[in-house]
Amino acid sequence: MGEAVRVVRDGGVLEITLDRPPANAIDGATSRALGDAFERLHTDCGLRVAIVTGGGERFFSAGWDLKAAASDDAGATDYGPHGFAGLPDYHELDKPVIAAVNGYAAGGGFELALAADLIVAAEHAQFFLPEAQVGILPDGGGINRLPRRVPYNLAVEMMMTGRRLSAAEGLALGLLAAVVPAAELMAKARERAQAICASAPLSVKAIKQILKRIEPLSVDDSIRLMREKRAELPAYAAMWDSEDAREGPRAFAEKRKPVWKGR
């Protein structure tokens, strides 16, 4: 059996593939490997964005490996410093992640996708949270994030009954950024990743930081935070004081592509 998590770098893009047949379920070792991959994204200055996907065509991830969790192996539930699947609890990560959902995203697999900044999906993908059917609940970020991404009543139904959401429904609700045939999924994810790489890196970092901070605030309070408390948004302050903030307008005036330096 090969590595459960494969990592490939393509320029500024880090492609992370969860490949643990038959269902890409996540045990402790797999979670730690995912966490290491997202840590690499965070710390490597040359990386701009990550794509996380699943191996095979049926499952993105079935989520928590219940068999491993029920074993006597203490390492099976040691998920690493960033928690289960390495992303849902990684609050310091300041670069975007695209989830390329190639099949069923169930339980913790759906929570992994929800923790990404963009989700693109294959036409046959399905999203569901079956935890209540096995006596637990989606506390890997699902109960926190899903009601913010889809209508509240639908989120409750999905969490309490295990109701499945199709890719077409997810696209119509705005949960997904794109839905494509399975054969085109990675091309679509890479297209979105390259579009992010074409933007100014400090701008992307500031957008991610601001979105996270203003989520619980009113519009007025969020604007006040940005205008009057810029020091509390260091990525935002760094963007305005950067060479790139001057390069963008200059390149526009000179009718050329900007050359971003990330400083």
> Is 232 labeled as catalytic in the residue annotation?
no
Rounded to an integer, what distance in angstroms lies between the CA atom of residue 97 and that of residue 41?
9
Q: Which residues of 24-57 are buried (b: 16+ CB within 10 A; e: fewer)?
A: bbbbbbbbbbbbbbbbebeeeeebbbbbbbbbbe
The active-site residue out of 111, 157, 191, 243 is 111
List, in sequence order, every residue forming a beta bridge with 104; answer none if it has no partner. 59, 126
- Residue labelled with tokens 């991830």: 61
- ω before 181 within 30° of 0 (cis)? no
Rounded to an integer, what distance in angstroms lies between the CA atom of residue 170 and that of residue 126?
9
Question: At 12, is the secondary structure helix, strand, or coil?
Answer: coil
Question: At 119, is the secondary structure helix, strand, or coil?
Answer: strand
Give the distance from CA 232 to its chain's centroid: 24
The active-site residue out of 131, 157, 169, 232 is 131
153 contacts: CB under 8 Å, gap ≥ 6:
none
Q: What's 74's DSSP letter?
A: G
List, in sequence order, every residue forming a beta bridge with 34; answer none if it has no partner. none
Rounded to an integer, what distance in angstroms lies between the CA atom of residue 94 and that of residue 81?
16
Q: Shortest CA distance to 232 belongs to which of 244, 222, 218, 242?
A: 222
> Is 111 labeled as catalytic in the residue annotation?
yes
Rounded to an integer, what distance in angstroms lies between the CA atom of residue 63 and that of residue 84?
9
Catalytic residue IDs: 111, 131
